[in-house]
Amino acid sequence: MKESVVVAMSGGVDSSAAAYLLKREGYNVIGMTLKTWPKELCDTVPKSQTCCSTRDIEDARAVAAHLGIPFYVVEASVPFKSQVMDYFVESYSKGRTPNPCVVCNRKIKTGILLEKAQALGIERLATGHYASVVWDEKRKRHAVRQAVDGNKDQSYVLYQLTQEQLSRLILPMGELTKQQVREAAREAGLAVADKPESMELCFIPDGDTQGFLKARVPQAFTPGEIVSRSGAVLGTHQGIAAYTVGQRKGLGIAHATPLYVLDLDPAANRVIVGEEQELAASVCRVEEVRWMAIPGLTEPLAAQVKVRYRSGKLPARLVPDGESVRVEFDQPVQGGVSPGQAAVFYDGDVVLGGGWIA
């Protein structure tokens, strides 16, 4: 019998091409889309700015019909709100810069869809992420490897996936470039072959993050003092949630040299600023660490670390520190690190693990 696989279909070109390619390889493909947001949200913004909206669901449904595969819509708006959106809002209110895609990929996209697949008696799940799943025979562990297309690589947002999830995951995009994916979609006659990519968070399609946050945590926009490291008051900020570490624009301070946000102090409702060189970070502490290619860390280990989704990998030393990991960079990180963001550890192009910058 053909092996069955559920393909997570978002209505975009990547997941649509994944469904086509797997069917071409001989898999019995079942399309499945998560409904994470109510219809009203995306009815007022251009379709090119949406992701995971009801209109994207219809695109996915049309692709499934074109390919002749079964298609299901899975209601996930309640867990998506509680586990992704609420986390996002809470992080900003605490002066942290969250990464909701990391949480969504483990708990919602992979977590819920694998459960639904297994309820249908199907043990494999595929997504359109640009990365690959690899097996280390020596360590007897699964891991994620960076994509061939470095500009599209999404290994960073997959570091939280468990061994169980990885053992059932297929990532067809890992060995392809974006151009090759679009060509495959055109070859299949898919209407989404040239669909624009969504560049915003799926639950903030208009890109107005501050408007979204103000409606949910207005207390995080209480004005307060902007101060230097020494405590000198330099100005007034518009609320902790309106700022992130490394921010330069929008401070409203006249100063001889450009000033940057160095830190946020929600308890005192203060924004701490300083000059660019003060941002440089030689060390950071990483909490809630999850390991992937290795079972854990018992002694210092040389690795490479990404501190932002779009940053390069930086050589560093990982030092176990209780339940946390102390990351000692070979060279100071210019631009600093942002508490709340993920620090993902690599051995070459393979993900070792990662956690949240504290």
Is there a domain that residue 228 lies in? yes
Name the band, by pLDDT with cuts 50, 70 and 90, for residue 200: confident
Output the pLDDT for position 175.
97
- Choice between 130 and 310, residue whose per-residue pLDDT is larger: 130
The whole-angstrom separation of Cα 252 and Cα 1 is 66
pLDDT (mean) for 179-205:
90
Is position 294 within any domain?
Answer: yes
Look at residue 316 and tell me if it is in a domain. Answer: yes
Both 175 and 289 in one domain: the answer is: no
Q: Give residue-wise pLDDT tens across range 251-293.
A: 989 888 999 999 999 999 999 999 999 999 999 999 999 999 9
pLDDT value at 240 more than 60? yes
Domain termination residue (choose one: 278, 302, 317): 278
How many domains is the chain built from? 3
Task: Give the DSSP letter of residue 110.
Answer: I
pLDDT band at residue 46 using 50, 70 and 90 as cut-offs: low
And the tokens for 40? 């009203």
Given the residues 42, 52, 104, 284, the one annotated as active site: 104
Q: Are residues 119 and 11 in the same domain?
A: yes
Indicate whether 217 pLDDT > 80: yes
**N-to-C CA span, the chain:** 49
Per annotation, catalytic residue among 42, 51, 52, 202:
202
**Of 33-37, 183-187, 268-272, 322-326, minimum mean pLDDT range:** 33-37
Length of the chain: 358
Q: Which residue has the tokens 């002694």?
A: 299
Residue 202: active-site member: yes
Mean pLDDT, rounded, for 54-65: 91
104 has catalytic annotation? yes
Structure confidence by residue, pLDDT tens digits, 119-138: 999 999 999 999 999 999 99
**Of the candidates 212, 243, 278, which is a domain's last residue?**
278
Phi, psi dihedrals of residue 34, rounded to the nearest 5°: -90, 130
Q: Are residues 94 and 107 in the same domain?
A: yes
Nearest CA-CA partner of 271 in 339, 224, 230, 232: 224
Residue 77, H or E segment: helix 77-80
> Is 15 in contact with 71 (CB distance < 8 Å)?
no
Range of the domain at 301: 279-357
| Residues 18 and 124 both lie in one domain | yes
pLDDT of residue 42: 52
β partners of residue 170: 126
CATH number, domain of 232, equals 2.30.30.280
What's the pLDDT at 203?
84
Kindly indicate the confidence band of residue 45, based on its pLDDT and cuts at 50, 70 and 90. Answer: low
- Domain boundary, last residue among 258, 278, 298: 278
Whether 151 shows a pLDDT value over 90: the answer reads: yes
Same domain membership, residue 181 and residue 56? yes
CATH number for 298 = 2.40.30.10
